[in-house]
Structure 1
Amino acid sequence: MSVELARLIACHVFLHACMAGMRMAAPLLALREGHSEASVGVLVALFALTQVFLALPAGRYADRHGLARPVGLGVIAASAGAALAVAWPVFPVLCLSALLTGGATGAASIALQRHVGRAAEGATQLRQVFSWLAIGPAISNFIGPFAAGLVIDHAGFRWAFFLLALLPLVAWLWARGAREHPAADASIAAPRSAWDLWQEPMFRRLLLTNWLLATCWDVHTFLVPVIGHERGLSASVIGSILGAFAIAAAAIRVLLPIVAARVREWALVAAAMLASGVLLAIYPLLREAWAMGLCSVFLGVALGSVQPMIMSMLHQITPSHRHGEAVAMRMLVINASSVAMPVAFGAVGTAVGVTAVFWAVAAAVAVGARLAFGLRGRQSS
C-alpha cells in the first residue's frame, strides 16, 4: 500500500466517522426525547436523502475536477452539520445535521473511490486498492459510534456532537496534497445521460445485488439502537455492538488484498448474501448484549467482504471516463434505499415489531443470492 493511499484511507476514516457517529447519536437522542420509532426512521433516512440527489452531480463534478474540491466541500458541510447539533440539539436541527453530514460524506466518497480506481492498473490491483480503501468506512463505523457512545454516557450529547464536528477537519489534513490524475478527454466525457448505464445487463444485476446487501447493512444500523433501547442497554453498549460489526468488517477487508489474486468475486458475493440471510434471521432472537455483539461480528465479516468486489466489477464494466458517474449511480441506488428503508423499518417495526423486519430482509437477501451467481460472466482474473 502506497503512502498516498494510506493518507486517503485516513481521510475517509475521519470524514465517515463523523456521519457514523451522528447516525448513532442523533436517533438515540430522539428516542430519549420520546420520539416514535417512525420519527427516528425518518431521521435515519435523512442521512441518505441528500446523497440521492447529490450523487450524480457529485460524480460528474469529480469527473471534471478530481479529488481536492469535492473533499474540501465535504469537510466544510460535515463539520457544519455536526456543529449545528452542538448549538441546537433538537429534533428539527438533528434532521438538518443528518442531511449535511450524509450528503458531505457521500460526495467525498465518490471522489475518493473514483480517484483510487483511476490509479489502479488491472483487475487484481483494482480488487486490492478497493479492499484497502474499504477499510476506511469499516474503521470509522467503529470509531464514530463507539466514541460518541462513550462521550454521551460521560459528558452528554452536546460534547459528543462537538467531538464529531472536529473529525472532518482532521480528514482534510490527511487529504491535502494528494496527487491529481489527468481529467478524462473532453471529447468522450459528455455522455447522453447517466441513466443509459442501465442498458448494460451486468450493470443492472450488479447494482441490484449491491442494493440487497446494502439493505442488510441498513437494517442492522437502524434496528440495533432500537432493540438496544427496548432492552435497556446503555449508549456505550449499543455503540460497542455496532463497533463490533465495524471491526469485523474492517478485519476482513485487511485480509482481502492478500487473497485478491485468487478470490472469485461472484462466489464471495453469493456466500455473503446467504450468510447475511441466516444471521439476520437469528439476530432478533438474541437477548444478551454479548450474543448480539457476536452475531454482529459474523454479519460484519459477511457484509464487509462485499464492497471491494462490487467496486472492482463496477470499474471493469464501465468505461474509464464514466467511472465517476458509475460510482455515483451505485451510491444513488443504495442511498435511495437508505432513505426508504428506515422509514419502512420504523413503520413496520411500530406496527408488528422489529423481528418481522429482520426476517423479511433475511428472506429477501437469501432468495436474491441467485443474482450473484449471474455475475460469473464478470469474474476477473
Structure 2
Amino acid sequence: MSGGLKPELARLIAAQICVHACMAGTRLAAPLLALKQGYSEAAVGVLLALFALTQVFLALPSGRYADRHGLKRPIGLAVIAATLGAGLAVAFPIFPVLCVAALLTGGATGTASIALQRHVGRAASSPTELKQVFSWLAIGPAVSNFVGPFAAGLMIDNAGFRGAFLLMALLPMFAWYWVRTAQELPPVIRAEGEQHGPTWNLLREPMFRRLLLINWLLSSCWDVHTFVVPVLGHERGISASVIGTILGCFAIAAALVRVAIPLLASQVKESQMLMWAMAATALVFGIYPFMHASLFMGLCSVALGIALGSVQPMIMSTLHQITPESRHGEAVALRIMLINASSVGMPMLFGAAGAVIGISGVFWVVGAAVGAGTHLTRGLKSGRTS
C-alpha cells in the first residue's frame, strides 16, 4: 500500500499538534515567568517536573477510559483541561497557578496521545500500515515542540506573558475542530471467556515486558542526550547557540527519519529496526565523548537522531500486535507512564552519576547498557494476541 499521509490521519495529527503545542508553549512560558518573579532554579525544576508528573498518574485511567469510550470523549476532556490550565495562567499569573497549569496541560497531552495512538492503531489493517501510521503520528510531537515554544516566545516578546498563555489556551480549541468529524471505530467485542483483569496483568506477558524494557532503554538515551550535551558543551567552552544547534540537528534528524519510514515500512521488520537502533545508539554513545569539535558533535547528534527517531513507530507497531485489542489503551498508557516516570527521575540520576564518574562516563555506562540490551530484540515476535 502507499505510505502517503491520508486526510483523516492528517486531521488527527493536526489535533495532536494543537494540544501538545499548548503544553510545550506553556512549558516555556511558565518557567520564564517564575524566574522573572524571583523564584529559584529549584522551584523552576519542580515546576517543569509537574508537566510530566501528571502523565504518570493519569496514564492508566486515561487508557482505560479510551478503551471504554473511544476517541472523541478523551480528546474532548483533554481540550477542556488544556484550555483551563493555560486560561488560569492568563487570569492568575502567579507561581501556584502556574503549577496547576503545568499539571493540567501535561495531563491533557498524555490523555490525547493515548486516545490518538489507540485509535490509529486499531484503524490500521496490517503490520506495514501500523508502521506507516505511527511514523506519521510521531511527527506531531516534533512539530509541536517547535511550534509551541516558538509561538509562546514571540508572544512573550510582543504581548507579554498573559498574551502567550492566552494563545496557548486557544490552541486546544483548534484540536477539537480537527477531531470532531473523525469517525469512531466500532467497540471492541471481547472473545468469549476473555478475562479483563487488572492492568498490571499485561506485564505477565513476556513479549510485552521485553518491549517495555527496550523502550525504556532507548527513551533513557533520549534523556541522556538532552541532559549531557549542554553540560559537555559547557565544559568545552562551546557557545549556547552552537549547543542549541547540536540539539536541533538531533531533533531534525529524528523527524526526517519518521517521514522516511512510511515509504520503507514494507521492507523492514520491527525487531530488526529496533536491534539496529540499539546497536547504533551504543556505538554513538561510545564515541561521542571523544568528539571535541562542535562539527563532529553535530554529526554524532544527527546519527543518534536517526537511530532514536526510528524507535517509536516500531515500538507502537509491535505493541498493537502483541496486546489484546480490547486493552490497547491500557498498553499504550503503561508505556507512556514508564517513559514519563523515567523523564522525571533519570535526569536527577544522571546528574548524581556525572558527579561521581564524570559526564563522559554517563554516556559510556548508558551506551553499554543499551548495547547489552540488543539481545532483547531477537526474541521479540509480532502477532496479535487474543
- TM-superposed CA distance for 1:195, in Å, is 0.8
2: distance between equivalents of 1:149 and 1:233?
Answer: 21
Identity level (%): 64
Match of 1:131 among 135, 140, 144: 135
Alignment of 1:1-381 (within 5 A): 1-27=5-31, 33=38, 35-36=40-41, 39-149=43-153, 151=155, 157-185=161-189, 191-222=196-227, 242-280=247-285, 294-345=299-350, 355=360, 357-375=362-380, 377-378=381-382
2: distance between equivalents of 1:165 and 1:69?
Answer: 19
1: distance between equivalents of 2:60 and 2:101?
Answer: 22
CA gap of 1:229–1:153, structure 2 versus 1, over 3 A, is: farther
CA gap of 1:366–1:149, structure 2 versus 1, over 3 A, is: farther
Contact 2:136–2:262 (Cα < 8 Å) also in 1: yes
CA gap of 1:187–1:202, structure 2 versus 1, over 3 A, is: closer
The TM-score, its normalising length taken from structure 1, stands at 0.84
1: distance between equivalents of 2:39 and 2:290?
Answer: 26
Residue by residue over 1:120-148, the C-alpha shift from the partner in whole angstroms, topping out at 9 and shown as x without a partner, is 11211111111121121122223233444
Task: Report the structure number with the largest CA radius of gyration.
Answer: 2
2: distance between equivalents of 1:284 and 1:278?
Answer: 11
- TM-superposed CA distance for 1:35, in Å, is 2.8
- TM-superposed CA distance for 1:45, in Å, is 2.7
Kindly report the root-mean-square deviation, in angstroms, between the aligned alpha carbons of the 2 structures. 3.4
Contact 1:146–1:239 (Cα < 8 Å) also in 2: no
CA gap of 1:50–1:271, structure 2 versus 1, over 3 A, is: same
DSSP-derived class of the 2:40 partner: coil
- TM-superposed CA distance for 1:289, in Å, is 7.0
2: distance between equivalents of 1:125 and 1:111?
Answer: 18
1: distance between equivalents of 2:292 and 2:183?
Answer: 50
CA gap of 1:256–1:101, structure 2 versus 1, over 3 A, is: same
Contact 1:142–1:242 (Cα < 8 Å) also in 2: no
Structure 2: any 5+ residue segments left out of the alignment? none
Residue by residue over 1:270-293, the C-alpha shift from the partner in whole angstroms, topping out at 9 and shown as x without a partner, is 222233334455667777877665
Contact 1:45–1:340 (Cα < 8 Å) also in 2: no
DSSP-derived class of the 1:378 partner: coil
DSSP-derived class of the 2:251 partner: helix
- TM-superposed CA distance for 1:294, in Å, is 5.0
Residue by residue over 1:167-199, the C-alpha shift from the partner in whole angstroms, topping out at 9 and shown as x without a partner, is 222222211211001112267686111111111
The TM-score, its normalising length taken from structure 2, stands at 0.83
Aligned length: 377
1: distance between equivalents of 2:28 and 2:75?
Answer: 23
